[in-house]
């Protein structure tokens, strides 16, 4: 197998490869661009016009999707998976991956869409580098662009595998892409209604890609992801890479649950209190009238919505950041 196929090993070791470009026996080119970033270009005459960005490890302890991308890249490097798409593999936060931590000082997934310019330290620099690499990759005209940013959650979930679909002024959410997600084993999608500051929000709103944050179970250490079933996602990604995927059928959305953001719970001060157990699952339903959170100045979040559910509750975020999202079921 080509050495560049071991991108994960290189990243975890903090090593830069001697050879930056290698070719497989069939002419597929592997190009090391930066730490944790490798571009795959199909052999001459095999390019389908599809550009696929696959990122994982934006949070360094979310290992199941990191291992999935490692397996796909190794198959390409061995010649077992022959690409028809251009693919950019990215491991987002290498130092956090090496330490087994979610992040070091700043959550990288809150530093996109220009937020890194107001930050400092290695993670702000890394967010800027990831934006630059993605912008160059998606700079070719006339090509289909898709970005899956793969994560696992810090807590359990009533709906284990779900996606967040960014929003951008003037664009509509794609039914075909939702059907593709359903084929990949995604059970629910949160349709966002304002521009975010995550990596997928950046590629969607500023680079014109279809882009999604995928939550794929609970975060576990490397080698302990046997309980995370990513077979359907793996099969979909293999088809996308090889150009063998059948066209998404909108009828394939059956069973997909859709949600919209009702309100974000923002932590304003150190006095913030979230009235949920630390072990509460994502998508736990909350009854109207429930006092969800309190903060300085008498600020109170009381559940008013019928069918409201909570996702990403985290009272330990920094002041000014989101400490939870109230979502409600919707029809597309």
Same domain, 134 and 279: no
Per-residue pLDDT tens listing for the chain (332 residues): 899 999 999 999 999 999 999 999 999 999 999 999 999 999 999 999 999 999 999 999 999 999 999 999 999 999 999 999 999 999 999 999 999 999 999 999 999 998 887 777 899 999 999 999 999 999 999 999 999 999 998 788 999 999 999 999 999 999 999 999 999 999 999 999 888 999 999 999 999 999 999 999 877 767 667 667 899 999 999 999 999 987 767 667 888 999 999 999 999 999 999 999 988 999 999 999 999 999 998 999 999 999 999 999 999 898 988 899 999 999 87
229 and 269 housed in the same domain: no
Does 59 count as an annotated binding residue? Answer: yes
Q: Does 99 reside within a domain?
A: yes
Element (H, E) at 51: strand 50-56
Residue 177 CA, distance from chain mean position: 15
Question: CA of 135: how far to CAs of 50, 119, 140, 226, 275, in Å?
Answer: 15, 20, 10, 34, 41
pTM, to two decimals: 0.93
For every residue of 193-208, DSSP letters joined together read -S--SSHHHHHHHHH-
Tokens at 23, concatenated = 């070719």
Q: Are 144 and 152 contacting, i.e. CB atoms less than 8 angstroms apart? A: no
Provide the 3-class DSSP secondary structure of residue 132: helix
CA distance 145 to 280: 36
* Cα(79)–Cα(302) distance, integer angstroms: 56
**Are the C-beta atoms of 124 and 87 separated by less than 8 Å?**
no
Q: Are residues 181 and 310 in the same domain?
A: no
The pLDDT of residue 226 = 66
Q: Are residues 169 and 244 in the same domain?
A: yes
Active site residue 215: yes
80/82 Cα distance (integer angstroms)? 6
Residue 62 known to bind ligand? yes
Determine if residue 275 is labeled as part of a ligand binding site: no
Query: What is the residue range of 194's domain?
Result: 3-253
Residue 322 tokens, joined: 């989101």
- Do 148 and 61 share a structural domain? yes
pLDDT, residue 189, reads 97
Nearest CA to 83 out of 134, 22, 31, 41 is that of 41
* 204-256 tens-digit pLDDT: 999 999 999 999 987 776 766 766 789 999 999 999 999 998 776 766 788 89
pLDDT in the model for residue 278? 86
Q: Which residue in 123, 129, 160, 215 is the catalytic one?
A: 215
**Inside any domain, residue 258:** no
Pair 141, 13 in one domain: yes
The tally of domains found in the chain comes to 2
CATH of the domain at 269: 2.40.50.630
**In a domain? residue 308:** yes
Sheet holding 299-302, edge to edge: 273-274, 291-295, 299-302
Q: Are 269 and 232 members of one domain?
A: no
Q: What are 172's two structure tokens?
A: 């509509």
**Are 156 and 220 a contacting pair, CB within 8 Å?**
no
* CATH number of the CATH domain containing 247: 3.40.630.10
**235 and 302 fall within a common domain:** no
């Amino acid at each position: 197998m080509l050495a560049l196929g071991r991108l994960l090993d290189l990243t975890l070791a903090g090593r830069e490869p001697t050879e930056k470009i290698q070719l497989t026996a069939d002419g597929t080119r592997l190009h090391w661009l930066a730490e944790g970033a490798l571009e795959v270009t199909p052999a001459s005459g095999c390019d389908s016009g599809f550009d696929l960005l696959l990122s994982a490890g934006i949070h360094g302890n979310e290992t199941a999707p990191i291992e999935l991308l490692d397996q796909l890249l190794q198959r390409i490097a061995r010649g077992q998976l022959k690409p028809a798409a251009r693919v950019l593999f990215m491991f987002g936060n290498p130092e956090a991956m090496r330490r087994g931590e979610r992040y070091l000082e700043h959550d990288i997934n809150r530093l996109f869409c220009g937020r890194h310019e107001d930050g400092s330290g290695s993670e702000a620099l890394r967010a800027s580098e990831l934006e630059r690499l993605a912008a160059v990759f998606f700079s070719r005209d006339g090509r289909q662009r898709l970005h899956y940013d793969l994560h696992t959650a810090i807590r359990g979930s009533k709906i284990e595998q779900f996606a967040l679909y960014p929003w951008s002024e003037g664009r509509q959410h794609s039914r075909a892409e939702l059907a593709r997600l359903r084929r990949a084993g995604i059970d629910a999608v949160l349709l966002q209604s304002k521009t975010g500051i995550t990596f997928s929000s950046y590629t969607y709103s500023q680079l014109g890609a279809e882009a999604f944050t995928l939550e794929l179970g609970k975060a576990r250490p490397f080698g302990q992801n046997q309980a995370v079933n990513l077979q359907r996602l793996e099969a979909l990604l293999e088809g996308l890479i090889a150009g063998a995927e059948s066209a998404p059928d909108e009828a394939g959305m059956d069973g997909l649950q859709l949600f919209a953001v009702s309100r974000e719970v923002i932590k304003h001060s150190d006095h913030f209190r979230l009235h949920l157990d630390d072990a509460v699952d994502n998508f736990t339903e909350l009854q109207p009238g429930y006092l969800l959170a309190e903060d300085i100045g008498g600020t109170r979040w009381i559940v008013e919505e019928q069918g409201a559910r909570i996702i990403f509750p985290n009272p330990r975020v920094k002041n000014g950041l989101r400490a939870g999202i109230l979502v409600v079921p919707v029809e597309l």
